[in-house]
Amino acid sequence: MPELPEVETFKRFIDRYALGRAVQEVQVLHPKILEGVTQAALIAAVQGNCFTRTVRRGKHLFIGLAPAGGKTNVKALPWLYLHFGMTGYLSYTEQGRTMVNAYGDPARTDAHVRVRFAFEDGSHLDFHEQRLFGKAGLVDDPQAYMDAKRLGPDALDVDCKTFLAALKRRKGQIKPVLLDQSLVAGIGNVYADEMLFQCRIHPEKRVADLSQGQLDCLYAQMVAVLQNTVDAEAAREQLPKGYLIHHRGKKGRCPRDKTPLAVQTIGGRTTYFCPACQPE
DNA sequence: CACGTTGTTCTTCC
DNA sequence: TGGAAGAACAACGT
């Protein structure tokens, strides 16, 4: 489930393999992945143009386009927009060798390639999305698009003061608040559980009932958990031993005290936590 | 084959 | 006006 750190690795993956390159052909292999754009419009906007830069906020990724070959142009091109849904990832194939970012499916096949961007030398960037909950589209102005969605600041870009001020306006349970993309953008189900575990905060705790120490811890762990995962290039098995993420699952136990983890639906999402060290 | 899965949006109530 | 809570929805693998 791509959250902020995974999408950041996708951004870097594009930066590394695709930036500055002219797209010779766009293949839409499953039109259901498209959002607000026809297949023909997406192809027309990207084909023959270069990827110029990438912008990410939260789980949203925008890829800038410019005419290939330094043509002096005409009118501004839209941005390519990607959202990775539940199962999205990228791969890049060159001379028969396929690279997948660390979070991608190691048993990768072409079965769930939804959009393929082919370059002039035969290499290609593939957008995989098994469940089709993700999106590919065109956006004229990323800022306006994010404003319309009421997207908060990126969770790795927000300072402590701003975060705590926004948090203190809320009164509900802490976990659903962390998942609300209008507070800060980028936290999903897995890393929300992780930061709460690291701070020993029960996921149903009311924001108003958190101590100042717990609030400060939450900011510190939000940054630490997300940054650690970015640094690990989203290879979750490389995260610290004491992380809850390694123990998610039916028979998981707390890495601190071996208490069987509690599994509960909170804010409509499956939530893992330690009932002993995250007391109500 | 009904169920589980998560990110996002919609709805209802306050 | 917007927050809280919860339902709905997307589509697929098991």
Per-position DSSP letters for A157-216, written without gaps between them: T--HHHHHHHHHT--SBHHHHHH-TTTSBS--HHHHHHHHHHTT--TT-BGGG--HHHHH
SS (H, E, C) A88-111: EEEEEEECCEEEECCCCCCCCCCC
Return the structure tokens found at A242.
Answer: 């004491």
Using the predicted structure, report yes or no on whether residue A102 has a pLDDT greater than 70: no
Quick check: A83 CB within 7 A of strand B?
yes
Asked whether residue A248's C-beta has any atom of DNA/RNA strand B within 7 A, the reply is no
CA of A243 to C1' of C11 (A): 31
| pLDDT given at position A96 | 87
For residue A22, which phi and psi values (nearest 5 degrees)? Answer: -85, 135
pLDDT for the residue numbered A19? 96
Is the predicted pLDDT of residue A84 greater than 70, yes or no?
A: yes
Asked if the model's pLDDT at residue A276 lies above 80, the reply is yes
Q: What average pLDDT score do residues A157-162 get? A: 96
Which of the four pLDDT bands, split at 50, 70 and 90, describes residue A106? Answer: low
| pLDDT, tens digit (0-9, with 9 covering 90-100), for A30-52 | 999 999 999 999 999 999 999 99
The answer to whether residue A233 scores a pLDDT higher than 70 is: yes
Looking at strand C, which nucleotides approach a protein CB closer than 7 A?
3-8, 10-13
Q: Which domains does chain A have, with CATH numbers?
A: 4-148 (3.20.190.10), 160-273 (1.10.8.50)
A121-126 average pLDDT score: 96
Widest distance between CA atoms in chain A: 64
Q: What is the predicted pLDDT for the residue at A68?
A: 86
User: Given this model, what pLDDT does residue A159 score?
Assistant: 96
For strand B, the positions having any atom within 7 A of a protein Cβ are: 4-9
Average pLDDT taken over every residue of chain A? 93
How far apart are the C-alpha atoms of A211 and A269, rounded to whole Å? 25
pLDDT grade for A279, boundaries at 50, 70 and 90: very high
Residue A235 pLDDT > 70: yes
Closest CA to the C1' of C9: that residue is A133
Q: How far is CA A50 from the centre of its chain?
A: 24
Give the nucleotide at minimum CA-to-C1' distance from A166: C3
Give the closest nucleotide to A268 (alpha carbon vs C1').
Answer: C6
Q: Is the pLDDT of residue A103 over 90?
A: no
Whole-number distance in Å between A270 CA and B5 C1': 9
> In Å, what is the separation between the CA of A169 and the C1' of C1?
14
> Whole-angstrom Cα distance, residue A273 to residue A259?
10
Mean pLDDT of A104-132: 88
What is residue A105's predicted lDDT score, i.e. its pLDDT?
A: 62
Look at residue A69 and tell me whether its pLDDT is greater than 90. no
Cα–chain center distance at A151: 13
Q: Pick out residues 185-224 of chain A having their CB under 7 A from any atom of nucleic acid strand B.
A: 188-190
The string of pLDDT tens digits covering residues A160-177 is: 999 999 999 999 999 999
